[in-house]
Amino acid sequence: MRSRYTAYVFHDLAYLRKTWAPETRPDHIALNPTRRWLGLRIKRVEGGQSKDDDGIVEFVARSKTGSRAERHVECSRFRRIDDTWVYVSGDIPIS
């Protein structure tokens, strides 16, 4: 999760594609070049250890576009393919 957040910060589209499950990866990944990422807070982790094949990460990522601050809250599902953890999907909690 942290490495994918860093990829968003640095607009590393190749890394985002590499760490996205093939069956859910979009054909095109669009990033807002004016968005500044301000921080990531991991709220909860389930699984994802060396003996696991899948895991869940609940997080809050803060960003700012112009003068507008935003918070992205998500519960993401990851799966191990070979020795690489890939993002499968995520749920955004209803506030």
**Using an 8 Å Cβ cutoff, are 69 and 62 in contact?**
yes
Mean pLDDT across 63-84: 95
Torsion angle, CA of 39/80/23/87, rounded to 10 degrees? -10
Q: How confident is the model at residue 5 (pLDDT cuts 50, 70, 90)?
A: very high
Q: How far apart are the first and last CA of the chain?
A: 22
Domains (range + CATH), the chain:
2-91 (3.10.450.50)
pLDDT digits (tens, 9 = 90+) for 17-72: 999 999 999 999 999 999 999 999 999 999 998 899 999 999 999 999 999 999 99
Structural tokens at position 45: 């982790």
Helix boundaries (H) for the chain: 2-9, 13-18
pTM of the predicted protein model: 0.90
In sequence order, the β-bridge partners of residue 89 are 77
CA-based nearest residue to 1, from 66, 70, 56: 56
* CA pseudo-torsion sign 59, 62, 63, 69: positive
Residues in the chain, how many?
95
